[in-house]
Structure 1
Amino acid sequence: MKRTGFRHRLKHIAAGITSAVTAAGMMLYLPASVFAAEDVTGTTSDGYDYLITAAGVAKITGYSGEDKATITALSVPESVKGVTVTVIDGTAFQGMKTVTSLTIPDTVETIERHAFDSLGISELHLPENLKLFEVGVIAGCENLRELTVPKGVPADVFRRYSYIGGWDATFKDSYIEKIIFEDGIETIPHQVCAGNDHITEIVIPESVTKIGYNAFDDGDTVTEFDLPDGLLEIEANAFEDTGMSELRLPDSLTAIGRDAFKNCPNLTALTLPAGINDADYALRDSYIEELTFADGMKAAPEYVAANAGHLQKVNIPRSMTALNLHAFIGSGIKEFTLPKQITYTNAPFRESALETIHFEEGLTRIPDECVKFAGKLTKIDWADSVTEIGSYAFGYCTALETVVIPDTVTVIGGNAFYSCEGITSLTIPDNLPLISTSAFYGTKSLKYVYLPLIQFPEGNGYSENLFSSSGLETIEFAPEYPVIPASVCSYCRSLKEIKWPAAPTEIRSSAFYDCEALETVQIPDTVTLIGSNAFNTCTSLSDLHLPASLEQLGEKAFCNTTALKYVYLPHELTAHGSASFYNSGIEHIDIADGITVIGRTFEGLPELRSVTLPDSLKRIGNSAFEGDVKLCDVALPPTLEYIGAAAFCSCSSLIRISIPKTVKTIERNAFGSGYQKPSGLQEIWFEDGMQRIPECACSGAENLQIAHIPSSVTEIGNSAFCGCRSLETVDAPQADIKHYQDSFT
């Protein structure tokens, strides 16, 4: 028996049901989707072509009645074959110019592209359930001048489509002049005016709380908008390219989206309500020249006028105390008066056209970051009431050339003029109590500065990095100045002259770090302390005078002073940090009599050839001359008692040395080899009168060949010659010398 497919059997079952019902004297209509396993097409009795998809969606696809050429009224059926009509197909009635009346049932949800193109209708009632109104639906409908948008439509009901080279706009080639939004609608849909060159009036009901993005974009023929008092939000690009010349924003408004007023050439003034708290880039690329913040507003929103290139004037209410992050970044404003009540700013004028800043009388503190990054600022109009300049207040104002800080100022905050690279003239008032860290850091055009005496609190002077990385060539300290502050001129690579105060006692850490042009330093005779890294990397320093008063020399104080050839250490110097002259160019050192201890002060001097040690010296500390590969002339004084570990380690040019009889301790590897740097010691004398050669005296001296041991020696300490694998001769007149198993291993 031949099998019958399911579709064939289903048709017979359906026919049977219909026959049975008909025989009973009644007719039953079941939805076509119950039976259709594929798309079904057909035409209604009154001429409407339809398509019922396999998914059960009914679309009206056209009209093919005999009167198609003359028909004046169309009424789209609510259903076909028992299936509710929800879609009017693209081009369904396109070109039927005789049609002057069109009725659409509320069941319709989608009207596809160009469905009513060029109809002769003068009115159109959109269905209440409309969800999608595609591009060109009413294109060419010359008599249709007014359109009402139902309250139930979604925000994205009107859509435009992209294509290569541009956009297809929703209302392209339409003739709509007036759009009315039905009372009860809450959101104005997106792209209402897209592509419409005729619209002049838009009616917005009181029910509206949101205007969707690009809602009136392209509405350059619309010159007036009446916004409802309950409006809460305007989304991005909402009024872009409109022709309005004024706009009242309701007090209820809290948020405005990006580019909301972009390219509105007639709108030159705007007042923002007090409730606005979110308005990032709202005025970007607008033509707003005057911006007013309504009374009651407490803070200018972040980025509110960002890239508002035409902005010239901003009106600030007394209620406002803050200008939030980048409020006017990239704007065209050239002159601004900061009201006295403003206490908080966050670089509001960054990259703007601001040239002049005025401070209202009554303002006492210039807020942090007040005009930070205002790269075109050239003039500061100070108020007599200003006593404090906040942190980064003028940071990165690179066009500033002359700065005269008023006598009323008592505090300059950290980084206040940070990286103001254009400053050539700076005047700081006398008796200034406090200047904080890096206040004038990076002022690269500043060649000279006079640093007046300040009244430092609790003994603290200027904070660190005051003029770091500036272009200073000369710095002059007030005569009464007692302390040279830490990092005051660090990285001032053009500094050539220091005009010292009359009687300073300290030069603090890194004060002149990396001042590579500094050639001569005559440190005043009153200085007792030079801090760590004070002159580190002053590579041109060739003439150095250390005063007799000097007591403390910090770690790496003159490290990397490669042009320095000679140094004299004064007798009062009792404390010296490690590597004080590390990697300098010193060839000879004189150490004054009176010094009893040497630490790691001269470690790593690649050019050092000779050193004069005083008779007062008792201790040479660990690594004191380690790595001084050219050191060849050292006379140890007769008072020496201690030689520390690695004291002369890796001194590859030190071939001979004599050890005084007073030496009681020589630590391990004192004359040995270091990492990739061998010891050069070949011959050693122990002075007559020495009774015991200390432990580890020559340990690690791998090139030692001859050791002269006087007859006075009765004992050789453990490991005294450990690792001396080149030792060939031990000149020891006294044959009976006590030694240990490891003395020569």
Structure 2
Amino acid sequence: NNCFNDCTSLTLISLPTTISKLEDICFGNCSSLASIDIPSTVSELGNNCFNRCYSLTSFNIPASVHKIGSDCFSDCRSLSSITIPSSISDLGDWCRFNGCTSLTSINILASINELVNERFKECTSLKSVSIPITVSVLGMKCFYECTSLTRIDIPTSVSELGNECFYGCSSLTSINVPSSIIEIGDICFGSCSLSYIYIPSSVSELRGWCFKNCKLLTSIEIPLTITSIGSGCFYGCTSLTSITMPSSVKNIGESCFFKCVSLKLITMSSSLVSIADNCFEGCSSLTSITIPSSVSELKNCCFKDCTSLSYIDIPTTITSIGIDCFKGCPEDLKKNQVLRQLYYQIGDD
């Protein structure tokens, strides 16, 4: 362990064929090491083996290697491409390429089950990645802030997309979510450049902040299987113009459509039970809305600063309206009989 760690002036090394393993942190922080040939006798690369080898531009993993340790190539800033051979049976739980800012492509031939947390976090030059059909989970922050990633094909073997999986992928304009996906994590597509996304019917919930600040998202098709739309799900989706909620949706989370300034048309679910605080706050293009009779309460700041909202159909089932629910809305709403009694407290005179 740590054999050549911090040998910052080391540029070249020849390894004999008698070596079978490169131990933990073997070449860690060898910041001048530009290339290295791994003999075909080596079967294992230890944890942090080449961590912070800033000058390493390419790396050939021989077919003899069956295990790559955690953070083996983290922060290899000059590494432009790499192939994970089919001989790999153990890719460490934290074997990440995070911080490999020059990595443009990666080819994974190994039969692995999961791309774990932060696997490609902040690989800002990554444009393409081949995901093997054995993978079932894309972990938390797997492609976090991969700002050059324009598209990705998710195989049908994948059933779960972790929290913040594609967060900050600002060049990602389209993505195919296969019908095998049953769970989409919190903030999964936050700050992406998606203009449209199809959600398969295998998904039952849109989690919190899922599409937060997807400023180019104009439309989304929500399947009949969705029962809940989480807090901040479409927060700051400034290009979203309309949305139709299927009858399966029962709950809309806090700040769900906060400052969706282009949102003009909302079709509510007939089964809707709960509309949380600040749900439509700042939807300045919204002109009218119909609240279904299944709803009994409008919570705090629900329609605050909906400056174009001149008509609202509120059923008599509404018994409570929260603080500042219609603050900043047009005076026309004072004509609504239910609002006169419960919110504006204006008599029938």
TM-score (norm 2): 0.80
The residue identity in structure 1 corresponding to 2:185 is S
1:674-689 matched pairs, under 5 angstroms:
685=349
Say which of 225, 231, 238 aligns to 1:532.
231
Instruction: Tell me the matched-pair count.
Output: 344
The residue identity in structure 2 corresponding to 1:398 is T
Q: Deviations over 1:629-660 (max 9, x none)?
A: 5223434548x9973xxx339xxxxxxx434x
Q: Deviations over 1:157-197 (max 9, x none)?
A: xxxxxxxxxxxxxxxxxxxxxxxxxxxxxxxxxxxxxxxxx
- Cα distance change on mapping 1:317 and 1:466 into 2, 3 Å: farther
1:544-693 matched pairs, under 5 angstroms:
544-565=243-264, 567=266, 569=268, 571-585=270-284, 586-593=286-293, 595-600=295-300, 601-614=302-315, 616-623=316-323, 625-637=325-337, 643=342, 647-648=343-344, 657-659=346-348, 685=349
1:107-146 matched pairs, under 5 angstroms:
none
Matched, 1:402 2:98: no
Matched, 1:471 2:177: no
Say which of 184, 188, 203 aligns to 1:482.
203
Three-state SS of the structure 2 residue aligned to 1:632 is helix
Give the Cα separation in 2 of the matches to 1:391 and 1:528: 28
Contact 1:301–1:327, Cα closer than 8 Å, also in 2: no
Say which of 329, 336, 356 aligns to 2:82.
356
Matched, 1:439 2:165: yes
Give the Cα separation in 2 of the matches to 1:316 and 1:323: 19
1:299 is matched with which residue? 24
- Cα distance change on mapping 1:536 and 1:344 into 2, 3 Å: closer
Query: Displacement of 1:361 after TM fit?
Result: 0.7
Q: Deviations over 1:578-597 (max 9, x none)?
A: 22111221333333456544
Give the Cα separation in 2 of the matches to 1:315 and 1:350: 21
Say which of 277, 282, 297 aligns to 2:2.
277
Unpaired segments of 5 or more residues in structure 2?
none
Matched, 1:336 2:60: yes
Q: Deviations over 1:427-473 (max 9, x none)?
A: 222132444333333333332211113365xxxx1323333333333
2:184 is matched with which residue? 462
Contact 2:226–2:248, Cα closer than 8 Å, also in 1: yes
Contact 1:366–1:386, Cα closer than 8 Å, also in 2: no
Give the Cα separation in 2 of the matches to 1:476 and 1:410: 20
The residue identity in structure 2 corresponding to 1:512 is F
1:723-738 matched pairs, under 5 angstroms:
none
Three-state SS of the structure 1 residue aligned to 2:61 is strand
Unpaired segments of 5 or more residues in structure 1?
1-275, 484-505, 650-656, 660-684, 686-745
Matched, 1:517 2:206: no
1:373 is matched with which residue? 99
Give the Cα separation in 1 of the matches to 2:328 and 2:271: 25
1:260 is matched with which residue? none
- Cα distance change on mapping 1:518 and 1:330 into 2, 3 Å: closer
Give the Cα separation in 2 of the matches to 1:418 and 1:294: 36
Query: Displacement of 1:627 after TM fit?
Result: 1.7
- Cα distance change on mapping 1:366 and 1:579 into 2, 3 Å: same
Give the Cα separation in 2 of the matches to 1:294 and 1:634: 82
- Cα distance change on mapping 1:566 and 1:349 into 2, 3 Å: closer
- Cα distance change on mapping 1:624 and 1:611 into 2, 3 Å: farther
Contact 1:312–1:333, Cα closer than 8 Å, also in 2: no
- Cα distance change on mapping 1:516 and 1:417 into 2, 3 Å: closer
- Cα distance change on mapping 1:627 and 1:303 into 2, 3 Å: same
Give the Cα separation in 2 of the matches to 1:603 and 1:533: 15
1:120-269 matched pairs, under 5 angstroms:
none
- Cα distance change on mapping 1:367 and 1:357 into 2, 3 Å: farther
Matched, 1:430 2:162: no
The range that moved more, 521-530 or 574-583, is 521-530
Three-state SS of the structure 2 residue aligned to 1:403 is strand
Give the Cα separation in 1 of the matches to 2:40 and 2:126: 25
Q: Deviations over 1:111-154 (max 9, x none)?
A: xxxxxxxxxxxxxxxxxxxxxxxxxxxxxxxxxxxxxxxxxxxx
1:741 is matched with which residue? none
Give the Cα separation in 2 of the matches to 1:330 and 1:558: 43
- Cα distance change on mapping 1:467 and 1:535 into 2, 3 Å: closer
Say which of 144, 148, 151 aligns to 1:418.
144
Contact 2:191–2:212, Cα closer than 8 Å, also in 1: no
Q: Deviations over 1:305-325 (max 9, x none)?
A: 32123x342348657551426
Three-state SS of the structure 2 residue aligned to 1:544 is strand
The residue identity in structure 1 corresponding to 2:24 is A
Give the Cα separation in 2 of the matches to 1:595 and 1:299: 59
Q: Deviations over 1:273-322 (max 9, x none)?
A: xxx635443252x452534595576324353532123x342348657551
* Identity between Structure 1 and Structure 2 (%): 21
Q: Deviations over 1:599-640 (max 9, x none)?
A: 3333443333343333x33513232644235223434548x9
Three-state SS of the structure 2 residue aligned to 1:426 is coil
Give the Cα separation in 2 of the matches to 1:476 and 1:546: 14
Query: Displacement of 1:337 after TM fit?
Result: 0.4
The residue identity in structure 1 corresponding to 2:203 is P
Contact 2:295–2:317, Cα closer than 8 Å, also in 1: yes
Contact 1:347–1:371, Cα closer than 8 Å, also in 2: yes
Contact 2:198–2:222, Cα closer than 8 Å, also in 1: no
Contact 2:191–2:214, Cα closer than 8 Å, also in 1: no
Give the Cα separation in 1 of the matches to 2:77 and 2:290: 57
- Flag the structure with larger Rg: 1
Give the Cα separation in 1 of the matches to 2:173 and 2:192: 8
Three-state SS of the structure 1 residue aligned to 2:106 is strand
Give the Cα separation in 1 of the matches to 2:41 and 2:131: 28
Q: Deviations over 1:255-287 (max 9, x none)?
A: xxxxxxxxxxxxxxxxxxxxx635443252x45
The structure richer in strand per residue is: 1
Query: Displacement of 1:342 after TM fit?
Result: 2.8
1:308 is matched with which residue? 33
Structure with the larger RCO, 1 or 2 (CA within 8 Å, 6+ apart)? 2
Give the Cα separation in 2 of the matches to 1:470 and 1:633: 36
1:6 is matched with which residue? none
Query: Displacement of 1:426 after TM fit?
Result: 1.6
